[in-house]
């Protein structure tokens, strides 16, 4: 890990990510308190709606925003989006109506929907070595897990000396510091994708997803991850406090067990992926999720729940963390921003399904049945991933071009075969290769 942190550009980007995440975590705590201040007993409904708005913004805005912004300088774009998020956070302490919360959350999350895929697509251009990029993915996963642990603790400490409205100042500071750190870097220039309509640029990532077998498998894995994650996030408090009759500290301990499992997997992954394929690791993670959820209805005390949540955290990280490697090897540099945006959109679309399912099922049919249903979803998703993602998945694929002229630069070194030209190279979906070779 020290090797990649020695890279000044990546180090500043990683610190920017960490600080922005902590600021966002403070905003999450403050937003819950603000919702209670505005709506009282209806605070849960306000937060639920705000979460739905967040997911709608992620699903609807990410591809379009990325398409509109892909011709802008990356550093200026990322800094501008950080400052836009800081501007929204400045306004949050002053809202007096629930609808104002909804509006500001939509604007804030729309900026995040443009920022996050662009940021993620920049990292593989900064760290071109695959081993270093794998370590960066693990560090990113650790950053998210640490944020989930550190932000609530920091918020609790701050609330002993300040009011909850002042927590938003930490959010503003986080985004501003992130902007300064990103602004201090020299980022690789984005590669032009040619003249295309906004529609084509916005849907390019989705088309690559649809045409690439390993990415279709990734989409199924996204659903398994969302099924497990939604169960943990939505129903931990119900399990611990309503079912087991324990307090808030036990709820925090259960969530920490989930985060600990995810962190340990993230630390192990760089070594695992040296010897084991992405497919094997990610499908193993999905199998852990399906098995854990399917047996979750048998959990009867906190000790067993901690073990189960630890296993689910481990499975989520195994299934999710290597996804950036798949996106990287499945795209040309100019196609990475729209492809990362498509992954951002599709993964959050899965959460948009599983979040309300976990809450509604838990409230109407009970937690044991909810475990069973979400376990079934994860199992079906894992089976789909196995079928959609072939076990034989080489980077270089031999294929034949029948539509290109014989003197086309792309065919340099190709062998004439009948009416076409055959050659092999690292295969990705692009304007020369609109479909996956049928022979594979």
Place 198 in a pLDDT band, splitting at 50, 70 and 90.
Answer: low
Residue 336 φ/ψ, nearest 5 degrees: -65, -45
The answer to whether domain 1-190 and domain 200-392 are alike in fold is yes
What residue spans define the domains of the chain?
1-190, 200-392, 394-440
Give the single-character DSSP code of 402. S
Q: Does 200-392 carry CATH code 1.20.1250.20?
A: yes
Q: Examine the pLDDT at 28 and tell me if it is beyond 50.
A: yes
**pTM of the model as a whole:** 0.84
Find the mean pLDDT for residues 34-58. Answer: 73
Task: Say if residues 335 and 430 touch (Cβ distance below 8 Å).
Answer: yes
Rounded Cα distance between 114 and 68, Å, is 10
- Residue-wise pLDDT tens digits, 54-65: 888 888 877 777
pLDDT of 195 = 59
Strands 415-417 and 396-401, sheet pairing: unpaired
* CA–CA distance, 221 with 219 (Å, rounded to integer): 5
Cα separation of 89 and 241, whole Å? 32
| Mean pLDDT on 430-435 | 85
Residue 320's pLDDT is what?
Answer: 93
Q: In the predicted model, is pLDDT for residue 397 greater than 70?
A: yes
For the chain, how many residues are written?
440
d(CA 219, CA 364): 28
334: left (phi over 0), alpha (psi -120 to 50) or beta: alpha
Taking 70 as the threshold, does the pLDDT of residue 180 lie above it? yes
Q: In what order do the strands lie in the sheet with 396-401?
A: 396-401, 420-426, 415-417
Which residues fall within 8 angstroms of residue 419, CB to CB, at 6 or more apart?
A: 402
Q: What is the CATH number of domain 1-190?
A: 1.20.1250.20
């Amino acid at each position: 890990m020290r090797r990649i942190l020695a890279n000044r550009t990546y180090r500043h980007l990683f610190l920017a990510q960490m600080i922005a995440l902590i600021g966002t975590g403070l905003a999450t705590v403050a937003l819950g308190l603000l919702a209670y201040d505005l709506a009282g007993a209806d605070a849960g409904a306000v937060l639920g709606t705000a979460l739905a708005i967040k997911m709608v913004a992620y699903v609807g805005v990410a591809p379009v925003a990325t398409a509109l912004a892909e011709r802008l300088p990356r550093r200026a774009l990322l800094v501008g989006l950080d400052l836009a998020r800081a501007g929204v956070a400045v306004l949050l302490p002053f809202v007096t109506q629930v609808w104002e919360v909804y509006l500001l959350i939509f604007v804030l999350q729309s900026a995040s929907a443009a920022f996050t895929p662009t940021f993620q697509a920049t990292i593989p251009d900064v760290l071109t070595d695959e081993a270093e990029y794998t370590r960066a993915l693990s560090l990113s996963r650790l950053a998210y897990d640490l944020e989930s642990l550190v932000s609530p603790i920091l918020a609790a400490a701050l609330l002993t000396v300040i009011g909850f409205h002042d927590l938003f100042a930490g959010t503003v500071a986080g985004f501003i510091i992130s902007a300064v750190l990103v602004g201090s870097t020299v980022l690789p220039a984005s590669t032009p994708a040619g003249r295309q309509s906004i529609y084509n640029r916005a849907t390019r990532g989705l088309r690559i997803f649809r045409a690439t077998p390993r990415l279709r498998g990734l989409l199924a894995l996204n659903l398994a991850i969302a099924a497990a994650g939604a169960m943990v996030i939505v129903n931990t408090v119900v399990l611990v406090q309503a079912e087991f009759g324990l307090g808030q500290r036990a709820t925090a301990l259960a969530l920490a067990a989930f985060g600990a499992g995810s962190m340990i997997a993230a630390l192990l992954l760089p070594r695992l992926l040296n010897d084991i394929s992405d497919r094997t690791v990610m499908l193993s993670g999905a199998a852990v999720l399906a098995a854990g959820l399917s047996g979750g209805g048998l959990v009867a005390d906190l000790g067993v729940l901690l073990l189960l949540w630890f296993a689910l955290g481990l499975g989520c990280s195994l299934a999710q963390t290597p996804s950036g490697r798949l996106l990287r090897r499945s795209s040309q540099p100019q196609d990475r921003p729209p492809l990362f945006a498509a992954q951002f959109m599709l993964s959050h679309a899965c959460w948009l399904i599983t979040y309300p399912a976990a809450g509604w099922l838990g409230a109407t049919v009970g937690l044991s049945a909810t475990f069973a249903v979400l376990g079934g979803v994860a199992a079906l998703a894992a089976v789909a991933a196995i079928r959609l993602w072939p076990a034989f998945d080489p980077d270089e694929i031999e294929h034949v071009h029948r539509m290109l002229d014989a003197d086309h630069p792309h065919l340099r070194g190709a062998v004439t075969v009948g009416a076409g030209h055959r050659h092999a190279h690292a295969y990705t979906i692009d304007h020369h290769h609109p479909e996956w070779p049928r022979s594979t």
